[in-house]
Amino acid sequence: MKTTILNLALIAFIGFGATSCKDGNKETEMETEEAATASEMAVDYKVDTAASEILWEGSKPTGSHNGTIKLASGTISANQGALEAGNFTIDMKSITDTDLEGEQKTNLEAHLMGTVEGQEGDFFNVNQYPTAMFEMTGAENNMIKGNLTIKDKTNAVEFPATVTMDGDKLMIKSEPFTIDRTKWGVNYGSKSVFDNLGDKFINDDMKITVNVVANKA
Contact 89, 74 (CB under 8 A): yes
CA angle 163–166–170, rounded 5-degree value? 45
pLDDT (tens, 9 = 90+) of the chain, 217 residues, equals: 444 333 333 333 333 233 333 333 334 578 999 999 999 999 999 999 999 999 999 999 999 999 999 999 999 999 998 999 999 999 999 999 999 999 999 999 999 999 999 999 999 999 999 999 999 999 998 899 999 999 999 999 999 999 999 999 999 999 999 999 999 999 999 999 999 999 999 999 999 999 999 999 9
Q: What is the pLDDT of residue 55?
A: 98
Q: How far apart are CA 13 and CA 146, in angstroms?
A: 4
Domain extent listing, the chain: 2-216
Q: What is the pLDDT of residue 6?
A: 38
Q: Give the count of beta carbons closer than 10 Å to the beta carbon of residue 186.
A: 25
Q: Which helix H or strand E contains 113, and what residues bound it? A: helix 102-113
Please state the φ and ψ torsions of residue 65, each to the nearest 5 degrees. Answer: -135, 150
CATH topology of domain 2-216: Lipocalin (2.40.128)
Q: What is the pLDDT of residue 42?
A: 98
Cα 1 from chain centre: 27
